[in-house]
Amino acid sequence: MNTLFTPITAGQLRLQHRVVMAPTTRMRSENGGVPGQLMVEYYRQRTSPGGLLIAEATAISPHANAYADAPGIFNDAQQAGWKQVVDAVHKQGGQIVLQLWHPGRQSLPELSEGYQPVAPSALTARETYGVGKNADGIYEGKLFPEPRELQEEEIPQLIEAYRQAAIRAKSAGFDGVELHAANGYLPEQFLLDGSNKRQDSWGGSLANRARFLLEVVAALTEVHGPGRVGVRISPSGIYGDMHDSDPAATFSYLADKLNDMALAYLHIIEPRIVGPEDREGGHYEEPVASRHLREFYHGTLIAAGGFKPEAGEKMLEADEADLIAFGRLFTSNPDLPARIQHGYPLAHYQRDALFGGDAKGYTDFPAYAQ
């Protein structure tokens, strides 16, 4: 029976334990999306020998960003900044993949060189906020404007932008990349019929709606090789004003197709989570959880979302997933794997420091032994 501390090989990633750091946007990059020393220290602190870190959502294009001070991977300075993060993680025996992110309709023009957001269809993500800055440099939530429908000839260019980002991630030394296809961002906007009303070969049938995501995965795999690309999905997700007429059918189809892609892993956000928050009493037509998709996807599964260590262990015991990713707990417990292993108490996360700021609430959580 597997526990959180049974070693596992996920594609080409050889891991000593199964406590994964989930990608968490912390809005601490510098000078136009460049990871600086503060971020190097943050990731270094969270490294454990043989452990896997998934670095936060990172913009693949200067024309699409939703959070002020979120990092990018589309220019040399950003690549060099990430290399320092990766080197620090590798020096301590950890592994790290980069989450590649295009927010599509969830982009703020002020963070995107003035560009209007693009999406499969001109449908606004209602009641969803990005984080910009006001005239005094203070963060503030902002609604997304109406997106522009992508022209057919622009779509291969976007896939190419993912490929270029993957090349930069490889040059920076990352062990692989994770496609952010969750939480209502561009790949999911193509996939779900609530946000994709196209009538060309990128919309309509399930196969057409899944095409963008699958072609991006193929491009990433060409760059990094088999077993080094992960895909993150949120099959029960409603964050970003997302909906689908039949999520169970959509995601089981996708999971089945991903069997042929030689992934490192499929990463699934469980139904109890909406974006960065716990779901409050709401419901979704048909929650699709890891245990459902296990039937369709035969490779390595990471489950994420609202896990305490005990619940993660139970999930592994029941063989409903292979690894467990922790988000908020990792923000306040830099040595989370060791704390879980030794039964040390866990520190509660600091909500008001999650998104943006300085070292406070970011790199000042001590390891337990200190």
Ligand X SMILES: Cc1cc2nc3c(=O)[nH]c(=O)nc-3n(C[C@H](O)[C@H](O)[C@H](O)COP(=O)(O)O)c2cc1C
CB of 305 to ligand X, least distance (A): 4
CB of 23 to ligand X, least distance (A): 4
Nearer to ligand X, 13 or 202 (CB): 13
Using CB under 6 A, which residues numbered 253 to 272 contact ligand X? 269
Q: Of all residues in this chain, which one has the CB nearest to ligand X in the complex? A: 327
| Residue 62 found at the interface with ligand X (CB under 6 A) | no
Q: Among 185, 239, 265, 297, which one carries the catalytic annotation?
A: 185
CA 340 – CA 329 distance, rounded (Å): 11
| Residue 276 found at the interface with ligand X (CB under 6 A) | yes
| Residue 82 found at the interface with ligand X (CB under 6 A) | no
For residues 65 and 59, the answer to whether their CB atoms sit within 8 Å is yes
Longest CA–CA span in the chain (Å) reads 59
Q: Which of 39, 131, 182, 288 binds ligand X (CB under 6 A)?
A: 182
SS3 assignment, position 284: coil
Q: Which of 232, 257, 279, 294 binds ligand X (CB under 6 A)?
A: 232
CB of 56 to ligand X, least distance (A): 4
- Applying CB under 6 A, what is the total number of residues that bind ligand X? 24
Q: Which of 15, 20, 56, 118 binds ligand X (CB under 6 A)?
A: 56
CA 358 – CA 241 distance, rounded (Å): 30
| Residue 42 found at the interface with ligand X (CB under 6 A) | no
SS3 assignment, position 81: helix
> Where in 224-339 does DSSP place strands (E)?
229-233, 265-269, 273-274, 277-278, 301-304, 323-326
Please, what is the end-to-end C-alpha distance for the chain in angstroms?
33
| Residue 328 found at the interface with ligand X (CB under 6 A) | yes
Helix (H) / strand (E) element for 155: namely: helix 155-171
Nearer to ligand X, 198 or 288 (CB): 288
Which token pair is 71?
Answer: 């990092």
Using CB under 6 A, which residues numbered 279 to 298 contact ligand X? none
Residues in the chain: 370
185 is catalytic: yes
Single out the segment in contact with ligand X by CB under 6 A; choices: 195-203, 280-288, 323-331, 361-369.
Answer: 323-331
| Residue 65 found at the interface with ligand X (CB under 6 A) | no
| Residue 324 found at the interface with ligand X (CB under 6 A) | no
Using CB under 6 A, which residues numbered 8 to 27 contact ligand X? 22-25
Q: Tell me, residue by residue from 131 to 170, as one string, x for binding to ligand X by CB under 6 A and - for no binding.
A: ----------------------------------------
| Residue 89 found at the interface with ligand X (CB under 6 A) | no
Q: How far is CA 47 from the centre of its chain?
A: 18
Nearer to ligand X, 266 or 304 (CB): 304
DSSP annotation string for 21-59: EPP------BTTTB--HHHHHHHHHT--TT-EEEEEEEE
Give the angle 193-55-247 at the CA atoms, nearest 5°. 20
Q: Which of 64, 118, 273, 321 binds ligand X (CB under 6 A)?
A: 273
For residues 115 and 145, the answer to whether their CB atoms sit within 8 Å is no
Nearer to ligand X, 21 or 203 (CB): 21
Residue keyed to tokens 């930069």: 168
CA 367 – CA 370 distance, rounded (Å): 6
Q: Please, is 123 exposed, middle or buried when counting C-beta atoms within 10 Å of its C-beta (0-12, 13-18, 19+)?
A: middle
Q: Report, as residue numbers or ranges, the catalytic residues.
A: 185
Q: Which residues bind ligand X (CB under 6 A)?
A: 22-25, 56-57, 99, 180, 182-183, 232, 269, 273, 276, 304-307, 326-329, 354-355
